[in-house]
Amino acid sequence: MKSNKNFRKDDLSPESNTKKIYKMYKRKKQWVVAPVVLGLLLNALSPVAVLAVSDAEQTDAIAAQARAVDNELLELIEQATTNINALVSLTPEAKATYVADVQKSDTKEKVEEELLKAYREDIAEAVKVVDALYVSKIDGLTSLSTVQKEAAKNAISTALALDSLKSTFNAIADSTTYSTFKEAFDKQLAKNKEAADILVKENVELNAALADLPKYKAEQKNVISSLSQLQEIEKQNFYTEIDKAEDKGAIDGIVTGAKAENEARLATAVTTKVTELKVETAKLALLNPSKQTELDAKIDAAAAESGDAALAKLNALTSEIEKAIADATANDQSAKLNAAKSELKAEIANEKKTNQQITDADVSAFNSRIDSAKTLEAVAVVKADWLSFVAAASIKGKELAEAKSAATSLIGGLMTIDATLKANYLKDVELAQTSEEVAAIVTSAQAEERKAVEKNAAELKAIKDQAIKEINALTNLTKVEKKAKTDAVEATDDKAEIAELVKTAKEADAAKALTAEKEAAKVKVNTLGYLSDAAKASAKTAIDAATDSAAITALLNKAIYDDYKAGVANAEVELEEAKTIAKEAINKLENLTVAQRDAALKDIAKATNKDAVTNVLDLAKTMDQENADANEEAKILEKTKSDAKAEIDALTYLTQEMKNGYKAEVTNAKDAAAVAEVLNRANTENTNLETEKTEFENAKKELVDQINNSAELTAEDKKSLISEAIDCKTKAEVADLTIKVKQLIADRAVENANEASAKATIKAQIDLLDELSAAQKLAYKNRVDALEKKADMVAVYNEAKAENNRVADKATVNNITKLIASGSFVEAQKEINKLRTDSIRKEYQAKLDESIALATAKAEANKQIDALENLSAEEKIAAKEKVSKLTTKSAVEKAVAELVKADNLAHDKDLIDIVTLQIKAKEFEAAAKTIERIRDAETKAKLQKQLEDAQKVAPTIKGTGHVSKIGWQKTVDMNEIIGTTGRKLALEAVKINLADVDMPEGAKKLEGGIEYRAHVRNIGWQKYVSNGAIAGTTGKSLQMEAIQIKLTGELAEKYNVEYRAHVKDIGWQKYVSNGTIAGTTGKSLRMEAVQIRLVEKK
């Protein structure tokens, strides 16, 4: 134990006991005084002590007690000193100060006070160290801005909460509780440091990201790219914003905004999909309610997922729901079908019992049809046929008058059959002689009705199928919207209503497409870097007001151009940068020809100031607009023609020939006014035909009556002619057929006349020929009178008939020629239909068809010319003028092909150069992509072949030599020595071969081989050998003196084989190639070695 430096020997001497105790008491050392006083009192009160203890003994006892008190203080000081020195955060100087103060302490309270102060300062120092450590970590992040660092430090300081920790610890009031307070401090500090370390890590990552901001931008662009609900144009806008961002915070803000928008759209998409699916599952409400409940639960569960996962699961449910509906519907339909079949069979069986006209065979036939029916509709058809059959069969058992009455009623009730044919059947009923004959007529009429119904049903189905196909092909309507339209199509049998549904669907789709295009255009405007905010706002307002795609495109192009122009004019932009901006603008002007673009780029390069650059830009823009206007006019005209053709196709009363003719005239039209004129004529004719419908039906009926009433026509003639009459669509067609019928009746009258009546009959028919003059008729009749044989008379009749037709056709032919030349194809067709001579009709029909084909080819040529990128507006006009003068379809197609090829080659020029360089640089993948952009097919094929050839890999060469005194050496690779040098050993034979090398993916091997021969001492030149065979000799000690090597096949086209010989007294010769002699002949100099290599031809 250390001695007390303040201790004095006489501190507790008997003489001064009282004084010392008093002083100690005054100094508040009661913990020392109390035991001493107590001891003294006890000693004083003890009579034995008083009697037994001397003064000296008493003095020694007091001194011992005082020493015990001093020793306890000293132990306390020593412990406090040890504790202070054990503190880890106090500086040595601070520790020394506190230790000194403790050792000066003369009371326990003083020691306690100093010790607590040391503990508190140690914590304060520890806090400072932690704070400094984290500050230094942030300060070391060199890519963070000052603001970012301060923000990071503040966040970390909050996480560490050092002041709070210090304050909590400073509440310690008793040194004996130090370990408890310290443990709590350390534990909370460790926890706080974990939070702080997370913040440090985030800032380190931020620092790293800022240190490589381009990489971070790329990473965040990938994040944007993965957002499923954003359109590509929107993503491009976000990419542009990221490119402009100067730090991670700005990038994060952009990405956060994109994510938020994506999430909002996802939520909407999920809600929409849920609604869509539940609309579908509702169809199961009556068919399979439990399945509906099950599927609705799956929909709700899928919707509860997050984001894309929800949408994916909902989309995955679509097929399951569709299958469930299909299965339920099939089950329901199957039950209904079976019920309908059973019901109809029962009805047939009952009818059989009461109707004697129905046989077992009839029942069996209908039951077989019922069994074969796959749908309710098919069963309904069988039932309708059964009812018709029963009605017809019932007629057989009636009296003739009653049968006719019933038949008239049945046939009159047929709603679909052609009116003329119906009238013909009714007339046949009137003329029938028996009930069985009447029943047969009814059966025939019912069969025709069935055919007409089936034809109409097929036509309606085709119209519906086409309508549904067109609606489903629309890309902007939702599935629900399409479904509503297609369901409406399925539900109606009105063709006009179907057409209207398709029209409104297309209009709705177009409206959505236009809205989407507007939004995309406005997003693009927002990305423009030089345009002012006011100019952008104006451009977007104009885009919102646009009514069609062409207007939007024009407005967007103008905004882009104005942006480039603003960039050139920007005061901060230097001339060279202005030129770069202007060149980019020129390349974006899509309607400039190659020549115009090249000229503008050259003028920009030569410009000496920014005003000159702007002038070039303005001129280029003007030319681009002129070309665009011409292209747009052509597009508008083409759209006008397309709409007109569609309207013509929809005209109900025009025949197909008429429609084709009018559409050909539309194709040939030069402008919108001409198109309108053709369309007006087509509509007028359609209206006239509709107005004349009654007259037309009457004319057709009269013609059928004429056919039926003719005694000369055979039954086969009548059947064929009546069919033709029913197929007539216009009065003109009926009139043309009437002439044909009259002529056929006349011909049959001539054929049917006997020898006795032939002369009179033929002369009568000659009188009926409508185009012959009276003199001509008389001449022909006189010739007939002079003849005796009917055959000779018929020949004269045919001659007269032919002349009559020739005269009739002559005027018509002249008119047809004029009409075709003028492009009046519909009227020409009408005139052709009037031609009486088959050969002439075929001839002029071919001419009309050729003219229509020529007109169509010219129209298609004009479309192709309008699409050419490298012709100016004036050049396109000239090209169209040239095409308009061509007289054959093949000539038109040839001329257009030449124009297209020239345009493609102009487009391909730079690409061809790029591909050539890429192939030379062996950038094969890039070359393949560039070749895809080549338009000219011939050029593309050549470049593709060039690429394929370039990708072919040459083999390597391996060889071995037979050397005197050694024999065969090991096989060596190309460029290595075959043989020996410096050893005076002769090379006696060689074997040379081609060996495959590793082939890159997609590469092919060059085909070909290697041939070689040796010049041998005492032998001379041997024959060529190839691919590993021996050239030279072995076992004869005959030296090789020379060698020739050459390649064959595709390998020889691409590569040279080069080789050199090492010769006695000469050494290595120069390389020679492709069959040239290496070595010597006639000098008896041995070859000692050879080296071979392949070198690609330049």
Per residue in 206-231, pLDDT (tens digit) is 787 777 788 888 889 899 898 988 88
Range of weakest confidence among 26-30, 356-360, 423-427: 26-30
Q: Could you tell me if 29 and 129 lie in one domain? A: no
Give yes or no: residues 200 and 226 share one domain.
no
Between residues 187 and 727, which one has the greater pLDDT? 187
Tell whether 22 and 139 lie within a shared domain. Answer: no
What CATH code is carried by the domain that includes residue 645? 1.20.120
Of 192, 211, 230, the last residue of a domain is: 211
Residue 52 pLDDT exceeds 70: no
The answer to the question of residue 255 being in a domain is yes
pLDDT band at 20 (very low <50, low <70, confident <90, very high): very low
pLDDT at residue 1020, rounded to an integer: 95
The pLDDT tens digits for 956-986 are 899 999 999 999 999 999 999 999 999 999 9
Residue listed under structure tokens 């297609």: 486
- Is residue 777 assigned to a domain? no
Q: Higher-confidence residue: 133 or 9?
A: 133
DSSP 624-688: HHHHHHHHHHHHHHHHHHHHHHHHHHT-SSS-HHHHHHHHHHHHH-SSHHHHHHHHHHHHHHHHH
- Is the same domain home to 217 and 122? no
Exposure string (b/e) for 659-689, b if CB count within 10 Å is 16 or more?
A: bbbbbbbbbbbeeeebbeebbeebeebbeeb
Asked if 592 and 624 touch (Cβ cutoff 8 Å), the reply is yes
Domain identity same for 76 and 179: no
Task: Please answer whether residues 959 and 928 qualify as being in contact, where contact means their C-beta atoms are separated by less than 8 angstroms.
Answer: no
Kindly state whether residues 135 and 8 are assigned to the same domain.
Answer: no
Q: What number is the average pLDDT over the span 557-583? A: 85
Which run of H or of E encompasses 961? strand 956-963
Query: Which residues are CB-contacts of 66 (< 8 A; sequence separation ≥ 6)?
Result: 11, 12, 32, 36
Task: Confirm whether 305 is domain-assigned.
Answer: no
Same domain (yes/no): 448, 385: yes
pLDDT surpasses 50 at 9? no
Tell me 12's DSSP state.
T
Note the pLDDT of residue 1014: 97
pLDDT surpassing 90 at residue 715: no
How far is Cα 407 from Cα 425, in angstroms, rounded to an integer?
10
- Please tell me whether residues 563 and 538 are part of one structural domain: yes
pLDDT, one tens digit per residue, over 345-364 is: 999 999 888 888 888 998 99
Scanning 868-961, the segments in alpha helix (DSSP H) are: 873-884, 889-920, 924-932, 937-951
The predicted structure's pLDDT at residue 123: 92
How does residue 1086 score in pLDDT terms, banded at 50, 70 and 90? very high
pLDDT on residue 998: 62
% pLDDT > 70, the chain: 93
Please provide the DSSP assignment of 191-248 as one string.
Answer: HHHHHHHHHHHHHHHHHHHHHTHHHHHHHHHHHHHT-TTS-HHHHHHHHHHHHH--SH
pLDDT tens-digit map of 619-668: 988 888 888 777 778 778 888 988 998 899 888 888 888 888 888 888 88
The pLDDT of residue 995: 86
Q: What is the mean pLDDT of residues 827-846?
A: 88
Domain membership of residue 276 (yes or no) is no
405 and 541 in a common domain: no
Quick count: other Cβ atoms within 10 Å of Cβ 146? 7
Judge whether 16 lies within some domain.
yes
Lowest mean pLDDT among 413-422, 503-512, 945-954: 945-954
Q: Which of 401, 426, 457 is the last residue of a domain?
A: 457
Of these ranges, 56-60, 232-236, 837-841, 1059-1063, the one predicted with the greatest mean pLDDT is: 1059-1063
CA atoms within 13 A on the CB side of 9: 0
Residue 366 belongs to what H/E stretch?
Answer: helix 360-372
Q: What 3-state DSSP class applies to 336?
A: helix
pLDDT attached to residue 700: 87
293-315, pLDDT tens digit by residue? Answer: 999 999 999 999 888 888 899 99
> Does position 746 have pLDDT exceeding 70, yes or no?
yes
pLDDT for 1002: 54
Half-sphere exposure of 707 (CA within 13 A, CB side): 29
Residue after which a domain boundary falls, among 260, 276, 299 = 260
Is the pTM value of this prediction over 0.75?
Answer: no
Q: Tens digits of per-residue pLDDT, 436-462?
A: 899 899 988 888 888 888 888 888 999
Per-residue pLDDT at 811: 84
Residues 82, 12 share a domain: yes
Inform me whether the pLDDT recorded for 50 exceeds 50: no
Q: What is the mean pLDDT of the chain?
A: 86
Q: Give me the pLDDT at residue 1001, please.
A: 56
The pLDDT, as a whole number, for residue 66 is 52
Instruction: Tell me the mean pLDDT in the region 881-909.
Output: 89
Residue count of the chain, please give it.
1098
Is the pLDDT at 19 greater than 60, yes or no? no
Considering the domain boundaries, does residue 102 fall inside one? no
Please provide the distance, in angstroms rounded to a whole number, between the alpha carbons at the two ends of the chain. 102
For residue 12, is pLDDT > 50? no
Instruction: List, in order, residues 6 or more apart from 775 with CB less than 8 Å away.
Output: none
**Is the confidence at residue 26, as pLDDT, over 70?**
no
Q: What is the pLDDT of residue 196?
A: 92
Domain total in the chain:
6
Quote the pLDDT of residue 307.
80
Q: Is residue 917 part of a domain?
A: no
- Choice among 128-137, 563-572, 1070-1079 with the minimum mean pLDDT: 563-572
Same domain for 246 and 185 = no
Judged against a pLDDT cut of 50, whether residue 101 lies above it is answered with: yes
Look at residue 1018 in the predicted model and tell me its pLDDT.
93
Residue 196 lies in a domain: yes
Domain identity same for 145 and 228:
no
Range of the domain at 155: 117-211
Split at pLDDT 50, 70, 90, the class of 54 is low
